[in-house]
């Protein structure tokens, strides 16, 4: 097995429970880690034999563009889509962070993290 990581995927999205968040938006950071078998691609040197991180990034960006009230909800959508579209992925660790959340304090970011295994 091997690991592919996409760190600090930055987006501007409109997630949140407050009406204002749906209008003004906020900065987000996503960290994605997947487990897959990298033996074939390490020998062949062919993109077709691995999980394309361009596709992983595309899935994250498209799902982050769809408004959700909760970070957990958007994270779940990302995980479901990766498992649905990329059968080679056996495990996903995903963190979604809202930068400067509107929680009445000096908080750099709030993060939810989810880990799922292919069933």
Q: Quick: pLDDT tens for 75-119.
A: 999 999 999 999 999 999 999 999 988 888 899 999 999 999 998
| pLDDT single digits (tens) 89-99 | 999 999 999 99
Q: What pLDDT is stored for residue 98 in this prediction? A: 96
60 and 9 Cβ atoms separated by less than 8 Å: yes
Check if the beta carbon of residue 35 is closer than 8 Å to that of residue 2: yes
Residue whose C-alpha is closest to residue 8's, from 107, 112, 95 = 95
């Amino acid at each position: 097995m091997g690991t592919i990581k996409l760190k600090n995927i930055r987006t501007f999205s409109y997630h949140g429970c407050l009406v204002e968040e749906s209008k003004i938006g906020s900065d987000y950071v996503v960290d994605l880690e997947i487990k897959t078998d990298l033996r074939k691609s390490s020998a062949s040197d062919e993109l077709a034999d691995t999980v394309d991180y361009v596709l992983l990034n595309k899935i994250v960006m498209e799902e982050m563009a769809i408004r959700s009230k909760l970070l957990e909800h958007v994270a779940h959508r990302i995980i479901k889509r990766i498992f649905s579209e990329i059968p080679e992925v056996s495990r996903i660790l995903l963190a979604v962070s809202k930068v400067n959340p509107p929680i009445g304090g000096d908080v750099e970011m709030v993060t939810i993290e989810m880990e799922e295994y292919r069933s």
